[in-house]
Amino acid sequence: MSEQQNRVTAIRIEQMDCPTEERLLRKALEKKPGVTDLRFNLMSRVLSVTHDPAVLDDIMSAIRKIGFTPELNQGSIPRSVTGSHTGCCGHDHSGREGGDEHVTHRHASNKDHQGQNDHDHHDHGGHGHSHDISLTQGQSEVSPNIAGGVLPGWWHLALAGVLALGSELTHWFSGPTWLMVVTAVAAVALAGTDTYRKGLTALRYGDLNINALMSIAVTCALLIGQWPEAAMVMVLFTLSEWIEAKSLDRTRAAVSGLMNLAPDTVTVQVNGQWQVQEVSQVAVDSLVRVAPGERIGLDGSIVRGFTTVNQAPITGESVPVDKQSGDTVFAGTINEAGEIEMQVTATADNTTLARIIHQIEEAQAVKAPTQRFVDTFSRYYTPAVVVLAILLAVIPPLLFGGQWLYWIYQALVVLIIACPCALVISTPVTVVSGLTAAARMGILIKGGVYLEQGHRMNWLALDKTGTITQGRPVQTGMTVLDEGMQAAQTHKIAVSLAARSDHPVSRAIAQAPQAADVVPLPVDAFLAVAGRGVQGRVDGQLWYLGSPVWAQELGLMDAATNDTVVQAQTNGQSLVLLMNERNVVLLFTAADQLKDSSIQAIERLHRLGVNTVILSGDNQAVVDAIAKSSGVTEARAQLLPQEKQQAIAALQKDDRTVVGMAGDGMNDAPALAQANIGFAMGAMGSDTAIETADVALMDDNLMKIPTFLALSRSTRRVLVQNISLALGIKAVFLVLVLLGLGSMWMAVFADVGASLLVVANGLRLLRFSQREA
């Protein structure tokens, strides 16, 4: 398909801070040949365009033509989650941070995230843009604040305020009219330059953003002789926009706090000398020293010393973890006890933390369903309200003999409330706060969609090994089934095969005390067969190490062997058989332990109304035993990877069922992809898990799933509150205006007040912690 050649270019647009600007950009770009998709991230003011590489210049000039300043900066991505300023319809105020430029990455096989509806079963392969990007810290460029409107200095605003007040007082005390007029016009000019300029740009392109609406309203107010009112409204508007921008700044600060987890510098060995370097300068394999109490700056593997590390910044789990030589440590975590030396395993732009940060940024670009609804709604809202305002100005005087000036004034009040900003900003603020709160708890959510959909999840399928259990089974026994062969020799073969596999039961066999003295034999044509086992040639003969089901498939299960297997299964242990091409030779049993947290997690899931089922490749007796001790309601055993997937698809037949699947992400990939929400356990340090799951849990504590659900429910609540609040306030105002009780400055307060309220409400989610859940 042609999309293969398309690229996604992220373009930073300083002025893109309000949904109305999004509309303007859509108008300019949507129908352009070669442009296939537009994605807006108003929080970070980044527009991602999917396009034919040949038309990039066209795109850039089209953006410039509508008065915006697009910036491309390949090779670095925003250092802060929400990018620079985030004011909606507000001012691009001065405090601009560098390094917010974005990325160009290739679309491997992109699925349209936005078009995905609730019940679409997303495909994990579809997540795979390959990101050839780097988070180059310290290399960020500060670009000049070109066309972004600069907020009039506070003294401009103060002076405008005094003038407006003067105008108002002159009016009250029936002072000279010229004084009232001059002070009012001066106030409007001082406070409103920026609003007028932005408003005019929008109008020129047939768009009505808040600036355009305010410009029209204030100008009309002046024209109908409402001098002091016009002045006051302009001053109040500018002031409140400034407050709004400030409050959104705080949002950004809170969110980007996550980013400042890793120190900027580390102590590196260079030519035998220790010296302090920027993390971005440190190469893989460098030797880094971390003092006790210091934050670890890069991912690495300890080569000297031992310590305990607080990994809470990444996993959300504050119990310190012991680390010694050979163990992995992660950027952003805290070295609590001893001095360690570590060998760097990832550059600053490739650490687990950097990946998490990058994923959160990507997640913001994938719009949650509510966000899409709100966007669509606001597309019709503004024009509708403007039409209403015009009708209000014209109909009563024409048809019912109303007073022209009175009704024009009412129309102006309505114009001011035509801005959908509060509504539109409410959703991303809420979702981003939720995503950030989750990341702080070690839950990496790959899109607002999952956060929003989470509250509807009513089934959770769980893998057994490593998900409910600790995933470290130990060999508990070995039975010789083929007496004709030398047990020592066949055991050696089993261990040699097992040593080649990462599968927990293989590891149990390879690492059992009985295997300690075994020198593994060379294995040829080694092959791992998912859900069945491993095979390979030893001394020219083909051997299989795997499940009883596989033995059946291979036609090696005779009645006697079957009896032994059934017998062995009844004590609830995992079985592994060693087979050659003729018969089953050895039978191993292995047992795994339940994770303490599993019981608690399952209980909480049930209390949250979620049904649970284990989907396992292991035998029924083991799965039953684990289900019983963990409290999981249903136990499905002996499932191959694709049967796990089918089991989930079967659950999804019911329209109201939203299925989550928790697994370790290796054997469970098809099932994780089939589920509406795929949870990968123990994702810290596992790039595949971080990249393929919908929700990556940094450690392997199942409690994170009920926590995710609770957060999802809170997010949902806040979203509903915010939307009702934003719409409710406008509705109340409309009624007040129709009753003749509204005034322009009240409308300004309502517009910006609503924005402030929804932002504050959304930010509450940042304080969501496990305890609250």
Ligand X SMILES: Nc1ncnc2c1ncn2[C@@H]1O[C@H](COP(=O)(O)OP(=O)(O)OP(=O)(O)O)[C@@H](O)[C@H]1O
Closest to ligand X by CB, 258 vs 508, is 508
Q: Which does 465 bind (CB under 5 to 8 A by kind): Zn ion, ligand X, none?
A: ligand X
Decide if residue 344 touches Zn ion (CB under 5 A): no
Q: Which does 463 bind (CB under 5 to 8 A by kind): ligand X, Zn ion, none?
A: ligand X
- Is the separation of the CB atoms in 100 and 29 below 8 Å? no
Closest to Zn ion by CB, 168 vs 241, is 241
Question: Among 594, 567, 589, 568, which Cα is nearest to 578's?
Answer: 589
Q: Which does 419 bind (CB under 5 to 8 A by kind): Zn ion, ligand X, none?
A: Zn ion
Closest to ligand X by CB, 287 vs 626, is 626
Decide if residue 210 touches Zn ion (CB under 5 A): yes
Parallel, antiparallel or unpaired: strands 677-680 and 659-663: parallel
For Zn ion, the binding residue among 421, 438, 711, 727 (CB under 5 A) is 421
Q: Which residues pair with 679 in a beta bridge?
A: 662, 695
Residues 6+ apart with CB under 8 A from 553: 532
Question: Among 88, 768, 13, which Cα is nearest to 431's?
Answer: 768
Instruction: Report how far residue 650's alpha carbon sits from residue 615's, in angstroms, rounded to the nearest whole number.
Output: 13
- Give the shortest CB-663-to-ligand X separation in angstroms: 7
Q: Which does 210 bind (CB under 5 to 8 A by kind): ligand X, Zn ion, none?
A: Zn ion
Closest to ligand X by CB, 83 vs 466, is 466
Closest to ligand X by CB, 597 vs 620, is 620
Closest to ligand X by CB, 160 vs 627, is 627
| Greatest distance between any 2 Cα atoms in the chain | 118
DSSP 522: P
Residues 6+ apart with CB under 8 A from 739: none
Question: Among 282, 8, 14, 261, which Cα is nearest to 142's?
Answer: 14
Question: Among 487, 334, 394, 452, which Cα is nearest to 720's?
Answer: 452
Closest to Zn ion by CB, 29 vs 89, is 89
Is 349 catalytic? The answer is no
- Give the shortest CB-419-to-Zn ion separation in angstroms: 4
Instruction: Report how far residue 646's alpha carbon sits from residue 427's, in angstroms, rounded to the nearest whole number.
Output: 35
Radius of gyration of the chain (CA): 32
Closest to ligand X by CB, 221 vs 481, is 481
- Give the shortest CB-721-to-ligand X separation in angstroms: 41
- Give the shortest CB-466-to-ligand X separation in angstroms: 7
The piece of 111-119, 204-212, 471-479, 651-659 that touches Zn ion (CB under 5 A) is: 204-212
Q: Which does 89 bind (CB under 5 to 8 A by kind): Zn ion, ligand X, none?
A: Zn ion
- Give the shortest CB-88-to-Zn ion separation in angstroms: 5
Instruction: Report how far residue 733's alpha carbon sits from residue 725's, in angstroms, rounded to the nearest whole number.
Output: 12
Closest to ligand X by CB, 666 vs 760, is 666
Q: Which does 533 bind (CB under 5 to 8 A by kind): ligand X, Zn ion, none?
A: ligand X
For Zn ion, the binding residue among 259, 357, 419, 661 (CB under 5 A) is 419
Q: Which does 187 bind (CB under 5 to 8 A by kind): Zn ion, ligand X, none?
A: none
Instruction: Report how far residue 162's alpha carbon sits from residue 361's, in angstroms, rounded to the nearest whole number.
Output: 43
Q: Which does 667 bind (CB under 5 to 8 A by kind): Zn ion, ligand X, none?
A: ligand X
- Give the shortest CB-677-to-ligand X separation in angstroms: 19
Question: Among 516, 505, 663, which Cα is nearest to 591's?
Answer: 505
Residues 6+ apart with CB under 8 A from 169: 175
Question: Among 756, 763, 768, 716, which Cα is nearest to 251's?
Answer: 763
Residue count, binding to Zn ion (CB under 5 A): 4
- Is the separation of the CB atoms in 235 and 160 below 8 Å? yes
Instruction: Report how far residue 282's alpha carbon sits from residue 329's, in angstroms, rounded to the nearest whole number.
Output: 16
Residues in the chain: 773
- Give the shortest CB-507-to-ligand X separation in angstroms: 9
- Give the shortest CB-84-to-Zn ion separation in angstroms: 18
The residue whose two tokens read 């609540």 is 717
Closest to ligand X by CB, 186 vs 509, is 509
Q: Which does 503 bind (CB under 5 to 8 A by kind): Zn ion, ligand X, none?
A: ligand X
The 3-class SS string of 576-594 reads EEEEECCCEEEEEEEECCE
> Can you tell me whether residue 334 is helix, strand or coil?
strand
Distance from the first to the final alpha carbon of the chain: 45
Residues 6+ apart with CB under 8 A from 699: 311, 315, 316, 317, 442, 681, 682, 684
Closest to ligand X by CB, 469 vs 761, is 469
- Give the shortest CB-635-to-ligand X separation in angstroms: 10
- Give the shortest CB-742-to-Zn ion separation in angstroms: 18
Decide if residue 683 touches Zn ion (CB under 5 A): no
The piece of 73-81, 250-258, 418-426, 732-740 that touches Zn ion (CB under 5 A) is: 418-426
Closest to ligand X by CB, 134 vs 619, is 619
Q: Which does 501 bind (CB under 5 to 8 A by kind): Zn ion, ligand X, none?
A: ligand X
Contact mark string toward Zn ion, 264..303, x via CB under 5 A: ----------------------------------------
- Give the residue at shortest CB distance from Zn ion: 421
- In this structure, the dihedral spanned by the alpha carbons of residues 669, 451, 110 and 131, taken in order and rounded to 10 degrees, is -90
Instruction: Report how far residue 249's alpha carbon sits from residue 148's, in angstroms, rounded to the nearest whole number.
Output: 16
Q: Which does 506 bind (CB under 5 to 8 A by kind): ligand X, Zn ion, none?
A: ligand X
User: By the criterion CB under 6 A, which residues form the site for ligand X?
Assistant: 463-465, 501, 503, 505-506, 528, 531-534, 545-547, 574-576, 616-618, 667
Instruction: Report how far residue 592's alpha carbon sits from residue 473's, in angstroms, rounded to the nearest whole number.
Output: 4
- Give the residue at shortest CB distance from ligand X: 617
Question: Among 411, 461, 479, which Cα is nearest to 623's?
Answer: 461
- Is the separation of the CB atoms in 376 and 423 below 8 Å? no
- Give the shortest CB-688-to-ligand X separation in angstroms: 16
Instruction: Report how far residue 291's alpha carbon sits from residue 685's, in angstroms, rounded to the nearest whole number.
Output: 22
Please give the residues from 735 up to 754 whose contact with Zn ion meets the rule CB under 5 A.
none
Instruction: Report how far residue 735's alpha carbon sits from residue 580's, in angstroms, rounded to the nearest whole number.
Output: 83
Distance of CA 282 to the CA centre of its chain: 28
- Give the shortest CB-691-to-ligand X separation in angstroms: 21
Q: Which does 23 bind (CB under 5 to 8 A by kind): ligand X, Zn ion, none?
A: none
Tokens of 473: 């089974």
Which residue in the list 37, 207, 299, 463 is annotated as catalytic? 463
For Zn ion, the binding residue among 89, 365, 615, 621 (CB under 5 A) is 89
| Concatenated DSSP letters of 40-86 | EETTTTEEEEEE-GGGHHHHHHHHHHTT--EE--TT---SSTT-S--
Q: Which residues bind Zn ion (CB under 5 A)?
A: 89, 210, 419, 421
Q: Which residues are part of the catalytic machinery?
A: 463
